[in-house]
Structures are given as C-alpha cells and as structure tokens.
C-alpha cells in the first residue's frame, strides 16, 4: 500500500513539473537535477520541455547542466522519451555554456556534405555536418548542426561549440553514438570517435 501511494505521489509531482515548466523553467530544472535515478527517468518529458526553452529564459548553472548530463547517462536508453530528451538537452546545454560569440542559427551556414576535410580549423562558423569525413580538424566557438547522415571523425576537436541535433524518437546509430559521447564529455571540449 505504501509503495502504491509513493508511486502515485511521484506521478503527481511529475505531472506538476510538466505543467510548471511554462511559468518556472529554472525551478523545474533545479528540481529535476536533484532527483534520484528512478524519479529522474519519470521526469524526462518535463526536462525536454525545459530544454525546448531558450537558455536565457532558464539561466541554468553549470552544476545543474552537469548533474543532468550525468543522470541522463544513467537512464536506460529504452526509457520512453529518452532520445528526444537527450538530443534536445544537448542543444540547450551547449547553448547555455557556449561563449557569446558562437554565431546564432540565423547566420549563413557552411554546408559540409560528403566532403573530405583535413587539417582545417573552423572558427565562429555555422557548420552543417551531412556525411563525409574530418581528419585532424578543429572547430572553435561554432554552431555544429548534425544530420542523420554519418560523418567519419578522426582526431577532431570541438571547443566551445553549440551542437544541434535533429530531435527524433529513434535516432540513427550514428546520432546515438555522437550524443552519448557528447553527454560523457564536459560539453565544452569534445573529441568524438565516430565511424
């Protein structure tokens, strides 16, 4: 009986957080960051709603972002809403901690589609990654837009970048691997190992 009451209480709190995102996204994020593993997993829909907001509307602390990123690594990938939440959160989190000189998504985009790029540095660019390969390449203070098309990366560094992922229910294995590696990084310096 006590277990049923407790799970009912958790469901009510989860529903309330989802409703409260519109008025108090910062407080909801703070609450979610402090939840235990099972309650955290139940609150993925509320976390996704928070992550759909502009970071300036939430003003998350670096500690909250890292707490949430750590907890997302512990949630089963089979949990409902896991992938859309992770993909949305990564865009939100990297935008929140990136320097202000990262270009907004409204600027023109450098489209790298099926290109083979070696030994280049991209600074303050918007880059659409759409197939191809990168070797010994560095991206700094840039906006990186992933697509479902795999990009081979060897000795690639992303420093202070904002990452945008397509928010889908069932991402490709490539997007899953890229997002999991980014989650495991400190979100400001990222050196992926992608096929």
Domain ranges of the chain: 2-93, 110-190
Say what the pLDDT of residue 138 is. 94
CA–CA distance, 92 with 53 (Å, rounded to integer): 8
Q: Residue 107 to residues 19, 56, 126, 131: CA-CA distances in angstroms?
A: 34, 19, 7, 21
Say what the pLDDT of residue 29 is. 95
Closest CA to 26 of 56, 6, 1, 3: 56
CA–CA distance, 195 with 175 (Å, rounded to integer): 11
The answer, as to whether pTM is greater than 0.85, is yes
For 72-90, the DSSP string reads HHHS-TTSTTHHHHHHHHH
Say what the pLDDT of residue 3 is. 43
List, for the chain, all residue ranges whose pLDDT scores fall below the cut of 70: 1-10, 107, 113-114
- Residue in the block written with tokens 């309330």: 16
Q: Which two tokens stand for residue 5?
A: 């009451």
């Amino acid at each position: 009986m006590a277990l049923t009451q407790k799970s009912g209480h958790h469901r009510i709190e989860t529903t309330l957080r989802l409703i409260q995102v519109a008025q108090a996204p910062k407080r909801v994020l703070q609450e979610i960051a402090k939840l235990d593993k099972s309650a955290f997993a139940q609150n993925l829909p509320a976390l996704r709603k928070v992550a759909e907001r502009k970071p300036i509307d939430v003003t998350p602390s670096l500690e909250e972002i890292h707490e949430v990123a750590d907890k997302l690594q512990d949630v089963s990938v089979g949990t409902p809403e896991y992938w859309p939440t992770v993909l949305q959160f990564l865009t939100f989190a990297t935008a929140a901690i990136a320097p202000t000189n990262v270009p907004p998504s409204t600027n023109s985009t450098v489209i790298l589609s099926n290109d083979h790029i070696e030994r280049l540095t991209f600074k303050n660019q918007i880059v659409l990654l759409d197939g191809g390969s990168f070797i010994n390449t560095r991206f700094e203070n840039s906006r990186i837009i992933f697509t479902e098309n795999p990009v081979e990366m060897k000795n690639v560094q992303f420093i202070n970048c904002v990452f945008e992922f397509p928010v889908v229910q069932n991402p490709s294995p490539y997007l899953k691997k890229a997002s999991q590696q980014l989650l495991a990084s400190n979100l400001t310096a990222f050196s992926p190992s992608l096929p």
